[in-house]
Amino acid sequence: MKPELEQLVHRAQQLYEDLDLAAVRTWKQAAPGRKAIGYMPIYVPRELMHAAGILPVGILGGGDRLEIIRGDAYFQSYICHIPRSTVELALSGRLDVLDGMLFPSIGDVIRNLSGMWTMLFPGRYVRYVDVPQNFDPKVGGAYWRRELETLQGDLTRLAGRAIKDDDLRHSIAIYNQNRQAIRELYQARSWQPWVYPTSELYLFLRAGNVLPPEEHTELLRQYLKLAPLEEDRKEKDHSRVVLVGMFCEQPPLGLLLTLERAGCWIVDDDLLLGMRWLTGEVEVEGDPLANLVTAFLEQSTATASRYQPEGDRGRALVESVQHNVAEGVIFCAPSFCDPALLDQPMLIAALDRESIQHTQFKYSEDTGQFAVIREQAGTFSDSIRLWSEA
Amino acid sequence: MSEHSVEKEQSMLLQKQMIAGHYQALARAPEEGRKTVYTFVPGNLTELLRSFDLLPVLPEINALQSGMRKLSAGYIAEAEKYGHSEDVCTYVKCDIGMLKKGNISPTGTQLPNPDLLLLSYTGCFTFMKWFELLRQEYDCPVAMLHVPYQADGKIHPHHRDYVVEQLRSEVIPMLEKISGRRYDEDRLRASLALSVYAEDDLVWVLESAKNTPSPIDAYFGGVYYIGPIFSAFRGTPEGVEYYRTLRQEIEARLRDGLGPITPEGSMGRERYRLVVEGPPNWTSFREFWKMFYDEGAVVVASSYTKVGGLYDRGFRHDPDRPLESLAEYCMGCYTNLGLPSRVELLESYIREYHADGFMINSVKSCNSFSAGQLLMLRQLEERTGIPGGFIESDLVDPRYFSSANIKNRIESYLQMLEQKRGTKVGA
């Protein structure tokens, strides 16, 4: 690896491994009065925080790098892992740098965690972000506008400054650039997954959890520029697969590496989906709150936690397979993840109708043994290649 | 399981007739040209459906009835055979398994396919996935009613407006289309007026447990008491009659100084008064109940009996504000409340009902209930100074009911309460 890219990857890796949120502390210390607010998966309107001068910080649990000492005492064995490591992060003081937490609507566990936060950390700002499941502008849109106005009022008080329309327009433009860079990266990986391996791309995506969007966009742009210069990144006889089910509790990095080593090029995924929730640009001109509402109603990605009035669950996955010329789908969901696991039979039915191959397994964010997964993914990849050649 | 014959009171016989009659009406629905709507207990819109002459079907009730009748294990296995994860809600799998095996109701009658899935999305994320799954199976329309979560326990005006607007623009037009009838607000008002009578009587029954000894068990007995009002009979004359009869029976028990009626007759001496959080286990329901009444433990208040509405905290359907009141009903159901509100409610129950202890039955299937219960336990212990008990089981998957383990925990917990009581006396 050339030194410039090596440095860049090293930086992204450091940010990924930093459970103490040092980057956030540094950012806050750089100017007096700066605030940071954490948010859990999946979608929150980060533009509003940015417009208030607040740093939105993605909180995704502790992964496989955190020993759970107190967090387990708050959850039964049949609850997924991300809330226990998130509570552990907070109880160990690692999240003290945050001035508040947003809990988006993704499932009952994260929803209830919002109430737990209120009780565990009285006095801290906590808000449950209940996005509309009705997409009529006059109904769901009107409700979402009021919710955004309420959030805007809260952020104004927290930041100690009003959020002006021009501030919000500027933030929308900044996040449009960020989403555009991510889209370009995903497209580039889809074309040449050997140039942008997912185990690397993921680190750069994760960096967006703790960096200001302007800085994150620049990081992504540099990666897009430097990765193709690596001459030893050659195409291999791998299968092209789409990964599904990882939108909330994140897999350990080792799992992504394992899949690639097992012969799978990941050409699309739902990792860190909140950053890519809006599939297009948000209109910058005009009423910025109205533009955020419209974008949510019309450009939200298809995923388990969003109701689909049309009822064609699985269509977006089939389209992803087709668009990315994938040869199969790996359902890779966290254990006890209701949204992902309840969705799976519907997605499988859609794939079966199109004769698209698939396999499935579960993980936990602290999974440490990958031998079985490597074997299963390897066999799946082999079967695709053998089947394709037949 | 115990084979004791159950002592039946008039209200029990009445409820049995009502439920059997409803399932028979559902079985006849296709030939009689009646339309059916599948929907959920929390946030159910029974009066609205009835005002269109539509018959409600409640898959949660089918699942729990299947659990009580020992049918659920087979249905769950069937659903898992079709690729449904062992990790997810067993109500969903029980329902899907039942469908795959011919959609025979727990009472043995044929269930009609839905003409509409009314997705009252209240307090439970799984509801959305459940009806998305059913939509694929039945290929029928869905009306989504998104009910905002009351994280801070307050009903905000724009939340109410949102639900009312969905009723007007989504739900009612869909019901008109399915039923072929125009929305008749006067008919809805009349039905809501009947609801209030039943709600008043239900609250009186639930609050009778403030007496010592309590004439009712507000959890194991309570699930029977809520049956008609949480399902197909709110807003009906039968519902009113049931609750009037039930109230009269409880008034008589109170006059006679009797404790709750159990499957083995009137309970003996009341030794422990408990508050319980969480749904019961249905597959070993009587065995579970027996573990309590054998020890003289009476549940005087429970959260499960509030999943279909917090009537005891003052809510009543209001015929003068029909849609607004339905919206407020949907938002106020127990699992749609933030955890701090749930803790406050349980704390108030412990105090108002003079409970000796409280117990949480944490069910694997239901994250809406279960996620956060260990913190609720701590909070309640801190606020009341009363130690809590914690047991784990499931709704309708018998694999998760470990009888000896649960019995051991209940007995140990009650012994601890006894010991504390003794310590107090001696102090």
Answer left, alpha or beta for residue A246, where phi above 0 means left and psi between -120 and 50 means alpha: alpha
> Helix, strand, or coil here: B426?
helix
- pLDDT value, residue B424: 59
- pLDDT value, residue A387: 74
**pLDDT greater than 90 at residue B176:** yes
Total residues belonging to chain A: 390
Taking CB atoms and an 8 Å cutoff, what residues of chain A touch B165?
138-139, 142-143
Q: How far is B52 from chain A (nearest CA, A)?
A: 23
| Sheet strand arrangement including A357-363 | A264-268, A239-244, A328-334, A357-363
Query: Is there a single domain that holds both residue B194 and residue B153?
Result: no
Q: Which of B81, B89, B91, B132 to mutate to test the interface with A (most CBs of A within 10 A)?
A: B132
Q: Which of A68, A111, A247 to mutate to test the interface with B (most CBs of B within 10 A)?
A: A111
The residue from B131, B165, B183 where one domain ends is: B183
| Structural domain contains residue B225 | yes
- pLDDT value, residue A386: 84
Q: Which of A102, A116, A310 to mutate to test the interface with B (most CBs of B within 10 A)?
A: A116
| Structural domain contains residue B3 | no
Least confident piece of the model among A144-148, B216-220, B261-265: B261-265
Q: Hey, where are the domains in chain A?
A: 15-161
CB contact under 8 A, B129 and A136: no
| Structural domain contains residue B307 | yes
- Tens-place pLDDT, residues B248-294: 999 999 999 999 999 999 998 999 999 999 999 999 999 999 999 99
The span from the CA of A387 to the CA of B154, in Å, is 58
Partner A contacted by B130 (CB < 8 A) = yes
**pLDDT greater than 70 at residue B89:** yes
| Structural domain contains residue B359 | yes
The CATH number given to whatever domain includes residue B193 is 3.40.50.11900
Query: Is there a single domain that holds both residue B349 and residue B207?
Result: yes
| Residue B411 neighbours by CB under 8 Å, 6+ apart | B291, B295
Taking CB atoms and an 8 Å cutoff, what residues of chain A touch B360?
none
Does the model's ipTM exceed the 0.90 cut? yes
From B92, B133, B340, residue closest to A346, measured CB to CB: B133
| Structural domain contains residue B128 | yes
**pLDDT greater than 90 at residue B304:** yes
Taking CB atoms and an 8 Å cutoff, what residues of chain A touch B340?
115, 118-119
Partner A contacted by B174 (CB < 8 A) = no
Query: Is there a single domain that holds both residue B211 and residue B179?
Result: no
The residue from B127, B149, B183 where one domain ends is: B183
- Pairing mode, if any, of strands B36-38 and B116-121? parallel
CB contact under 8 A, B151 and A130: yes
Q: pLDDT exceeding 90 applies to what percent of chain B?
A: 95
Q: How far is B228 from chain A (nearest CA, A)?
A: 27
Q: Residue B406's pLDDT band (boundaries 50, 70, 90)?
A: very high
Query: Is there a single domain that holds both residue B77 and residue B203?
Result: no
CB contact under 8 A, A133 and B372: no
Query: Is there a single domain that holds both residue B27 and residue B167?
Result: yes
The residue from B183, B207, B235 where one domain ends is: B183
**Alpha helices (H) in chain A, listed in sequence order:** 3-17, 22-29, 46-51, 82-91, 108-120, 142-159, 165-191, 198-206, 213-226, 253-261, 288-299, 315-323, 338-353, 371-389
- Tens-place pLDDT, residues A333-359: 999 999 999 999 999 999 999 999 999
The average pLDDT across B63-73 equals 96
The average pLDDT across A221-240 equals 96
Residue B192: domain span: 188-426
| Structural domain contains residue B234 | yes
- Chain B window 92-121: which residues touch A at a Cβ cutoff of 8 Å? 92, 121
- Tens-place pLDDT, residues A174-210: 999 999 999 999 999 999 999 999 999 999 999 999 9
The average pLDDT across A137-159 equals 98
Taking CB atoms and an 8 Å cutoff, what residues of chain A touch B339?
112, 114-116, 118-119
CB contact under 8 A, B126 and A338: yes
**pLDDT greater than 80 at residue B425:** no
From A134, A338, A345, residue closest to B133, measured CB to CB: A345
B344 CB-contact burial (10 Å; exposed 0-12 / middle 13-18 / buried 19+): middle
Contact (Cβ atoms closer than 8 angstroms) between residue B339 and residue B369: no
Q: How far is A344 from chain B (nearest CA, A)?
A: 8
CB contact under 8 A, A74 and B375: yes
If you measure CA to CA, which chain A residue comes closest to B392? A76
Q: How far is A227 from chain B (nearest CA, A)?
A: 39
Query: Is there a single domain that holds both residue B272 and residue B394?
Result: yes
If you measure CA to CA, which chain A residue comes closest to B376? A116
CB contact under 8 A, B125 and A132: no
Taking CB atoms and an 8 Å cutoff, what residues of chain B touch A329?
none
Q: Residue B422's pLDDT band (boundaries 50, 70, 90)?
A: confident
From B136, B364, B372, residue closest to A112, measured CB to CB: B372
Q: Residue B421's pLDDT band (boundaries 50, 70, 90)?
A: confident
- Tens-place pLDDT, residues A233-292: 999 999 999 999 999 999 999 999 999 999 999 999 999 999 999 999 999 999 999 999
Q: Which of A342, A347, A359, A361 to mutate to test the interface with B (most CBs of B within 10 A)?
A: A342
Query: Is there a single domain that holds both residue B155 and residue B295?
Result: no
Partner A contacted by B160 (CB < 8 A) = no
Query: Is there a single domain that holds both residue B33 and residue B172?
Result: yes
| Structural domain contains residue B120 | yes
Q: Mean pLDDT of all residues in chain A?
A: 96
Instruction: Please report the DSSP string for A15-51 in residue order.
Output: HHH-TT-HHHHHHHHTSTT-EEEEE-SS---HHHHHH
* Number of domains comprising chain B: 2
From A108, A115, A346, residue closest to B367, measured CB to CB: A108
| Structural domain contains residue B1 | no
- Three state DSSP letters for B306-336: HCCCCHHHCCCCCCCCHHHHHHHHHHHCHHH
**pLDDT greater than 70 at residue B347:** yes
Q: Which two tokens stand for residue A87?
A: 């509570």
Q: pLDDT exceeding 70 applies to what percent of chain A?
A: 99
Query: Is there a single domain that holds both residue B195 and residue B166?
Result: no
Q: How far is A390 from chain B (nearest CA, A)?
A: 28
If you measure CA to CA, which chain A residue comes closest to B83? A345
The CATH number given to whatever domain includes residue B80 is 3.40.50.11890
- Chain B window 311-340: which residues touch A at a Cβ cutoff of 8 Å? 338-340
CB contact under 8 A, A134 and B144: yes
**Angle (CA) B203 B207 B211, round 5°:** 160
Q: How far is A199 from chain B (nearest CA, A)?
A: 27
Tell the residue number behind the tokens 């806050």, with chain if given.
Answer: A28
Residue B366 phi/psi, 5-degree rounding, is: -120, 95
Query: Is there a single domain that holds both residue B354 and residue B382?
Result: yes
Q: pLDDT exceeding 70 applies to what percent of chain B?
A: 97
Contact (Cβ atoms closer than 8 angstroms) between residue B393 and residue B361: yes
Contact (Cβ atoms closer than 8 angstroms) between residue B30 and residue B101: no
Query: Is there a single domain that holds both residue B165 and residue B281?
Result: no
Query: Is there a single domain that holds both residue B284 and residue B383?
Result: yes
How many Cβ atoms sit within 10 Å of the Cβ of residue A21? 23
Partner A contacted by B244 (CB < 8 A) = no
The span from the CA of A161 to the CA of A53, in Å, is 9
CATH classification code of A15-161 = 3.40.50.11890
How many Cβ atoms sit within 10 Å of the Cβ of residue B183? 18
From A75, A115, A307, residue closest to B151, measured CB to CB: A115
**pLDDT greater than 60 at residue B1:** no
